[in-house]
């Protein structure tokens, strides 16, 4: 495993991190989840990402139990807040009330005294940004949180948060967690340039496009039994890729590129996102320990310019680059 700074902060993170979005507490049994976490630790992963909303708080509980007994100082534990975790009007968003209550709940479920990176899971249009940032700053000063980040914020929203933090003397954002892969590059036009200049690192999710870039989904054929596409949550997310037979055919043309490098398709996809110097870490998920062991082999892989050009040539117009799509990630009103 290799390590990178989280943005311009002093915190080092494993360049491949382990996430439990739709696995722990929902897709796989706890014993399997624990085995995946153990495999991640054995392979040198020190960075673990979750969120209070995953499996309606159960994912945090499973991760907390799986990491129990591991030396806390050797880990970087990330979680997130915004989406509903209850039925009340204040069980969502980025208000002072919800942030304060949510961090305490996450600490309890994760069985830890502090969170290394606490992330705003979306932008809250119904809470003044000053209120959110002041509360985050208070949590840092209380020692409950060490660093602050966001997830799926637009370039303008990140810029506003950095400006307010500087003006009011708050702790600055050090990270953004966006979707990013060979197929989904909407952060490149605006978000990456801003973040490079401001010292904000990307902790990217879905580097394998929820399994699409493994090449296991074939044009004109049903998804393999037990694959992410057959899962109620994952299937809905990747539907836009699976409906495009031309795209699925193009992905098969990546096989010779991966083979020339001695990589699996998944390893090539993870290695690709790590070529971006603004990426601090790529999040992988797994339902089996073997998937963890395979994907971590992308750590330290360097792809030369010719390889990157070959990938772009194969995927062509299937790549989504529209930076305006980043503006649509956060709902205009809390869900």
72 lies in a domain?
Answer: yes
- CA 328 to centroid of chain Cα atoms: 17
For 56-112, the pLDDT digits (tens) are 899 999 999 999 999 999 999 999 999 999 999 999 999 999 999 999 999 999 999
| pTM confidence score | 0.93
- DSSP symbol at 34: H
- In angstroms, rounded to a whole number, what is the distance separating the alpha carbons of residues 60 and 25? 8
Share of the chain above pLDDT 70, in %: 94
For residue 226, pLDDT beyond 80:
no
Q: Which residues fall within 8 angstroms of residue 240, CB to CB, at 6 or more apart? A: none
Burial 284-295 (b: 16+ CB within 10 A, else e): bbbbebebbebb
Tell me the catalytic residues: 54
308 lies in a domain?
Answer: no
Instruction: Say which CATH number the domain at 147 has.
Output: 3.20.20.100
Domains held by the chain: number = 1
- Of the listed ranges 130-139, 234-243, 264-273, 278-287, the one predicted with least confidence: 234-243
264 lies in a domain?
Answer: no
Residue 240: per-residue pLDDT: 78
CA distances from 300 to 2, 3, 159, 264, 269 (A): 6, 9, 31, 15, 13
DSSP symbols for 301-321: ----HHHHHHHHHHHGGGSB-
231 lies in a domain?
Answer: no
Q: Which residues constitute the domain of residue 32?
A: 3-208+279-302+319-328
Q: What is the mean pLDDT of residues 213-228?
A: 79
Q: Is the dihedral of CA 330, 154, 283, 103 positive or negative?
A: negative
Residue 223: per-residue pLDDT: 74
DSSP symbols for 91-148: SSSS-HHHHHHHHHHHHHHHT-S-EEEEEESS--TTS-HHHHHHHHHHHHHTTSEEEE
CA distances from 64 to 58, 78, 107 (A): 10, 12, 9
Residue 235: per-residue pLDDT: 47
Q: What is the mean pLDDT of residues 156-166?
A: 98
45 lies in a domain?
Answer: yes
268 lies in a domain?
Answer: no
At residue 228 the predicted structure's pLDDT band, cuts being 50, 70 and 90, is low
Average pLDDT, rounded, for the chain: 93
Q: What share of the chain is helix, strand, coil (3-state, %, to 5)?
A: 45, 15, 40
225 lies in a domain?
Answer: no
218 lies in a domain?
Answer: no
At residue 24 the predicted structure's pLDDT band, cuts being 50, 70 and 90, is low
- In angstroms, rounded to a whole number, what is the distance separating the alpha carbons of residues 16 and 323? 25
């Amino acid at each position: 495993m290799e390590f990178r700074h989280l943005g311009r902060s002093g915190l080092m993170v494993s360049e491949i991190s382990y996430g439990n979005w739709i696995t722990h507490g929902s897709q796989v049994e706890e014993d399997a989840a624990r085995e995946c976490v153990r495999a991640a630790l054995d392979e040198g992963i020190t960075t673990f990402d979750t969120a209070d909303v995953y499996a309606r708080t159960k994912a945090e509980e499973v991760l907390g139990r799986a990491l129990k007994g591991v030396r806390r100082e050797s880990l970087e534990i990330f979680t997130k807040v915004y989406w509903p975790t209850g039925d009340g009007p204040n069980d969502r968003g980025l208000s002072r009330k919800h942030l304060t209550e949510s961090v305490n709940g996450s600490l309890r479920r994760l069985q830890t005294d502090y969170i290394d990176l606490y992330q705003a899971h979306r932008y809250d249009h119904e809470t003044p940004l000053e209120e959110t940032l002041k509360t985050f700053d208070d949590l840092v000063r209380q020692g409950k949180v060490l660093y602050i980040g966001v997830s799926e914020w637009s370039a303008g929203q990140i810029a506003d948060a950095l400006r307010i933090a500087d003006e009011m003397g708050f702790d600055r954002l050090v990270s953004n967690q966006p979707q990013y892969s060979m197929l989904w590059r909407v952060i490149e036009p605006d978000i990456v340039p801003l973040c490079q200049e401001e010292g904000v690192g990307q902790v990217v999710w879905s580097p394998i496009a929820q399994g699409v870039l493994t090449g296991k989904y074939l044009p004109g054929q049903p998804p393999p039994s037990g694959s992410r596409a057959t899962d109620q949550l994952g299937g809905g997310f990747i539907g836009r890729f699976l409906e495009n037979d031309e795209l699925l055919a193009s992905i098969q043309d990546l096989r010779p590129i991966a083979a020339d490098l001695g990589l699996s398709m998944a390893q090539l996809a993870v290695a690709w996102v790590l070529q971006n110097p603004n990426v601090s870490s790529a999040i992988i998920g797994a339902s089996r320990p073997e998937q963890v062991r395979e994907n971590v082999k992308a750590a330290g892989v360097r792809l030369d310019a010719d390889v990157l050009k070959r990938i772009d040539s194969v995927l062509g117009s299937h790549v989504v680059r529209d930076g305006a799509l980043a503006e649509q990630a956060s709902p205009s009103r809390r869900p």
